Amino acid sequence: MRNSCLSNKFLKGIFFLYFFMGVIPNSHAQNVFKVTYSVTDVKIQGSLDNLDNNSKQLFEKMADYTKDVNYILIANQEESYFEQENALNKESDSPLEHILSRGAQRFTSFNERVYANHNVDSIVFVRNILNQDFTVKRDYFNFNWVFKKETKKILDFNAIKAEGSYYHPVTNEDLKVVAWYIPSIQLQSGPDIFMGLPGLIAEVDLKGAIVTIKKIETIKNLEIEKINDLKAMNQQEFKDLIKSLNKKFENYIDD
């Protein structure tokens, strides 16, 4: 009996040690989610009635183009990576193609790429300004999420509503966001910078667009890409950059 007790204590000790060293196999540990998002609605600031026919047609083409673009989130419980899907990242020498591509980006105001480390609540994103990419490393955006009672189905998952607000450094605006998250998929991630809810964010209702999940896949051993942040600027440096660029633009207009 004494030997049995010692044996049990020994096994518990070994289990405890293996647990903290991460040796215990976990069937879900290597599972990574690949989430595809797309724009399901675009918003115009104003009324289409105030536009001429050519402008209306251009807006309609831009809206259709925007809805054809997929965004990919690769995520597990510790980290995530988000970007526009390469296959549909249409670039050509056509002036119209360029206008449509840039218009699609303005609707969502998404960054080029976003990497998040959920263990330390930090993100690294790449922002294109005036055709130049800037890499920024900072803490999570503070959305001050407020949980609501409303629920709805998204891809047959139960989603819960949350409302938040945040400051957008590029547009210099305080913006509101409505998010729908899936508590049964225990990820903190979402599209672009939107994260920090107790479940995968399935939809965000933004100033210029509504972005919704269209597909969720679970893939084992899928690598999560990181963004090189060795030369990244911090948030204050990024704010100073935006301020400087805005000042140059104002001076250019005045001249």
- Amino acid letter at 193? I
Cα(253)–Cα(25) distance, rounded to whole angstroms?
Answer: 62
- pLDDT at 12 (0 to 100): 41
Q: Mind giving me the DSSP string for 63-105?
A: HHHHHH-EEEEEE-SSEEEEEE-GGG----S-HHHHHHHHHHH
Residue 144: is it exposed, middle or buried by C-beta count within 10 angstroms (0-12/13-18/19+)?
exposed
For residues 232-252, average pLDDT: 86
Place of tokens 């400087």: 244
- pLDDT at 7 (0 to 100): 44
Lowest model confidence (mean pLDDT) among 87-101, 183-197, 219-233 = 87-101
Model pTM?
A: 0.82
H or E stretch covering 238: helix 235-254
For residue 120, what are the CA distances in angstroms to 125, 198, 224? 15, 16, 16
Position 31 confidence tier, pLDDT thresholds 50, 70, 90: confident
Per-residue pLDDT of 130-170, as tens digits, reads: 889 999 999 999 999 999 999 999 999 999 999 999 998 88
Q: Is the pLDDT of residue 204 over 80?
A: yes
For residues 157-184, average pLDDT: 95
Pair 105, 249: CB distance under 8 Å: no
Cα(135)–Cα(53) distance, rounded to whole angstroms?
Answer: 39
- Amino acid letter at 238? F
- pLDDT at 56 (0 to 100): 82
Q: Is the pLDDT of residue 3 over 80?
A: no
Per-residue pLDDT of 41-97, as tens digits, reads: 998 776 676 778 887 888 888 888 899 999 999 999 999 999 998 644 445 557 777
Among 49, 164, 42, 51, which residue's Cα sits nearest to residue 108?
42
Position 199 confidence tier, pLDDT thresholds 50, 70, 90: very high
Q: Is the pLDDT of residue 215 over 60?
A: yes
